[in-house]
Structure 1
Amino acid sequence: MHEKLLMTPGPTMVPERVLKAMAKQPVHHRTPDFGEIFKSMNRKLQEVFETKNYVLTFPASGTGGMEAAVANVFKPGDKVLAVSIGVFGDRFAQIAKRFGVDVDILSYQWGYAASPDDVAQRLKSSKYKGLLITHNETSTGVINDIEAICKRVREADKDVLIVVDAVSSAGGVPVRVDANDIDVMVTASQKALMAPPGLAFVTVSERAWKAMESDGVSYYWDFKAAKKGLQKAIPDTPYTPAISLIVAQNEALSMILEEGLENVFLRHQNIAHATRAALVSLGFELFPQESISSPLITAVKAPQGFDVARFLALVDQRGVVLTGGQKHLKGQIFRIGHMGYINKDFLMRAFEAIEGAMVDMGYGVEKGASIKVLNEILN
């Protein structure tokens, strides 16, 4: 009996090699043994994120990293522009409001990407301290052109702090923190980085450090304390870290770098192309336009009268987990995650389950039609 296959926006499947690495007894976090593991992970994170900036590690989900970014970089009354194209763009704005930040929101209809020109024009209309933006919006399957957005933002305001939610994108598509002049990037372990949930990572630029003149409002999420730990001869964390998860993430990063970062990006693009072609072969229609569709997740329109909840349950019975829509998209779309440790075998298994569920629901699909498409593209 197979373990259930997670084809979701996260958590994602964890390689056997990573599971074995984290299965050992934990080392003590105030020892050279842990310091070497932590130093290795930090070096690899910088390489994957393409940055020379410090990468801070917190025991949290991506949302914890987003909250840490707001708590450290901004103060009550600071004015920021939050760009939202879905659930997680809205979440970033809500977090900032909780901390008393003055938030203006530039919202787009779900299923559409942010316009770099729109963002630049809004920044020119007033003086903002920061920009909050989601790179890859898993609720809609849309990816923002972060390179174009950062370029236009810097043309509009060279001092504004660019804070990017790359929770579901870093490690699967290029983020290029330094090349795009991103001040704070937040991501997490359980998506494209191929590790279990529980670690948040935050990169911080020199511009952002200078903006933090006084201590922030948070004790546990304190960026300065985390940075101090990284500056030690034997690096550590301010408080007890998630040791086994750090061991796991270190191993997963080794796998990513052994494959080669550009090869990882290309693999995700190829898997996404095959996934969409296979879905079209079964009569489905994509939710966002292909040009803005994420290489990491595919959102699919439910046909008229299609029972998404029943479909997901039937797929689950076959050992594959997909996800439905969120908020007002519930019942209107379903989503297939294909990020991180994803390969052809996983995709084949997923589409066998999808075809079987459709047959059970009375749809006259040709058995093996999608599998044939997958083989044609991925071979």
Structure 2
Amino acid sequence: MLWVDKYRPKTLDQITVHQDVAQNLKKLVNEQDCPHLLFYGPSGSGKKTLVMALIRQMFGPSADKVKVENKTWKVDAGTRTIDIELTTLSSANHVELTPSDAGFQDRYIVQEIIKEMAKNRPIDSKGKRGHKVLVLNDVDKLSREAQHSLRRTMEKYSSYCRLILCCNSSSRVTEAIRSRCLNVRINGPTEEQIFKVLEYIGKKEGLQLPSGFASRIAEKSNRSLRRAILSFETCRVQQYPFVSNQAIPPMDWEEYITEIASEIMKEQSPKRLFQVRGKLYELLVNCIPPEIILKRLLYELLKKLDAELKHEVCHWAAYYEHRMRLGQKAIFHIEAFVAKFMSIYKTFLISTFG
């Protein structure tokens, strides 16, 4: 088992990084007055850990008896019936799913499937009908139509269904949904908090940590606890005993994007654009989010650019990121950004060096 799962806190009392949030959630459960919740914050900050600990606090050990199902749902879409394949993680009391995985069909999931799940109330040991909890991931990636449908579901089934929504940015969630939830901001952990967690894991694993080693991992983690723990385990696999100047390897996908940026800078041509497209496809099929690819590619290109070009390149990156959110095929928009960058950079080289 990976350390990131092995040392994941199981209960609200075990959570140390967001202790104040965990205790407030515990009070809500004890008072039996838990509203719809919206957890938002950067990736790797601990949203999912808090949600699962909260569900265990609500339902006890039964929340751990989960099953993964990959079902195909038949949904009426006007004059035709469409098949939507969806993966859910469920226990007797809760269901977890990611509606945005269905792309532009996400509104059908919200209108039909989530509505159907909300109707089915679980029966507790005393024969009473309890609350059903639906955990929806990446709510900020839902289309506007899906978010409007979700609002209606929240209102109609609020008496016996609780929604726990998770997202990275609450600004992309409609005001109508935000106003119907208790908004819980989960900040990225500080470097000091990450350092303490790494020290704890090192102690539990019986590892000797050189002075400053855990601090360097925490510094390179970009305030993502998940990333820090994965990097720590990678270092353990690559070399142990640790040495004080041991290199902390970057993520494979980051190195790959650095290579792509170097290739773009070396040559600006249709042939090179075709080669870059293939590499971008490879990143996408390995489940690297398109927004992350575009952001990282921009970061790597900016490091190699003259100051006078940076503003224009940032403008076009923002333009294509916005287009990507409105469209369906991310590869088109990332490739369009690369083509635009090549055009700008080649024009700059010709005007500078003739």
The TM-score normalised by the length of structure 1 is 0.32
- With CA pairs under 8 Å and 6+ residues apart, which has the higher RCO, 1 or 2? 1
The TM-score normalised by the length of structure 2 is 0.34
The structure with the greater share of residues assigned to helix is 2
**Which has the greater radius of gyration?**
2
